[in-house]
Amino acid sequence: MKINTLEKIIKNKQNKKEFAIITNLSTGETELFEKNTPIAKNLERYINQINEFFRLKKNGVIEGTEIFIETYRKPVRVIVVGAVHIAQYFTKFAKSLNFEILIIDPRGYFASDQRFPDMSIINKWPEEAFKKIETNENTALIALTHDPKIDDPALQHALKKKFYYIGALGSKKTHENRCQRLKKLGFSDEQINSIHGPIGIKLGGRSAPEIALSIIAQLVSETYKNND
């Protein structure tokens, strides 16, 4: 691998860019591929296959060739609102996955470095916190506080920005009340129905780690569904 290619790979990883490394297995030649950028002339005839691998975030060899494609996905930004016990287990599960976790909670005694080591924490109310971070339709929200003063503004922001995954902790009754509050604020049934509430897939567990596992499983499922 050429030194300038290696330097570009390191830079792209640091900047959290999406790209692919294209390697000719018979010659060892390596090229860097990024969306909407020119590609080497000797690879132009494979551009449709390369784009398909890139779109699906898959690794593999183009059929009938010696061309191997290794894709690097941009980490998915996941906003966790509520530095509660479940969030501690959730972040432990998420550390080994391709997620960039941000924790928002104005309550400093919950959202602390001691409880969430090596995590990005914003000790502000959601309205203020979202002014400081970039979010879009590739962002996920997990609301865990049960407190409408904290969860509701975060849910409103996520709905307006069309987050691909929105989940909120609480019983069916709690979720019904939440939906009614959002409806009074002018959100449509379609928007409100996009919220996963109660959050998580049905595993049958009730403890904090079991609930966290059900949330991470649902998030992973929706993430890959979003990328199909």
Residue 23 forms part of a structural domain = yes
CATH number of the structural domain spanning residue 187:
3.40.50.720
Helix (H) or strand (E) holding 94: helix 85-94
- Is there a single domain that holds both residue 149 and residue 46? no
What is residue 175's three-state secondary structure? helix
How confident is the model over 157-171, as a mean pLDDT?
A: 96
pLDDT at site 93: 92
pLDDT score recorded for residue 88 = 96
pLDDT tens, position by position, 5-50: 777 888 877 777 888 999 989 888 888 888 878 888 888 889 999 9
In a domain, 2, yes or no: no
In a domain, 7, yes or no: no
Say if residue 187's pLDDT is above 90: yes
What range does the domain containing 92 cover? 76-227
Spatial contact of 167 and 142, defined as CB atoms under 8 Å apart: yes
- Considering the domain architecture, whether residues 91 and 175 belong to the same structural domain is answered as yes
Q: Answer yes or no: do 50 and 115 share one domain.
A: no
For the chain, percent of residues with pLDDT exceeding 70: 98
Confidence at residue 17, expressed as pLDDT on a 0 to 100 scale: 80
Whether the predicted pLDDT of 226 surpasses 60: no
Query: Are 119 and 217 members of one domain?
Result: yes
Residue 228 pLDDT greater than 60, yes or no:
no
Shared-domain flag, residues 43 and 104 = no
The residue among 49, 72, 95 that closes a domain is: 72
Could you give the CA distance from residue 38 to residue 140 in angstroms, rounded to a whole number?
Answer: 32
Are 58 and 87 in a shared domain?
Answer: no
Whether residue 139 is contained in a domain is answered as: yes
Answer yes or no: do 34 and 111 share one domain: no
105 shares a domain with 53: no
pTM, entire model: 0.76
Q: Label residue 222 by pLDDT band (50, 70, 90).
A: very high
Q: Is residue 9 part of a domain?
A: no
Outline where DSSP puts E strands in 34-160: 60-61, 67-72, 76-81, 99-104, 120-122, 140-143
Looking at the 3D structure of the chain, how many domains does it have? 2
**Stretch 176-186: mean pLDDT:** 96
Q: Say yes or no: 68 and 80 in one domain.
A: no
Q: Within this chain, do residues 20 and 118 fall inside the same structural domain, yes or no?
A: no
Whether residue 181 lies inside any domain: the answer is yes
> How does 112-147 read in b/e, with b if 16+ C-beta sit within 10 Å?
eeebbeebebbbeebeebbeeeebeebbbbbbbbee
Q: 159 lies in a domain?
A: yes
Residue 170 has a pLDDT of: 92
Same domain, 86 and 191: yes
Higher pLDDT, 212 or 35: 212
**Residue 150 — very low, low, confident or very high, per pLDDT cuts 50/70/90?**
very high
The answer to whether position 192 is within a domain reads yes
Work out the mean pLDDT of the chain and round it to a whole number: 90
Residues 141 and 202 in one domain: yes
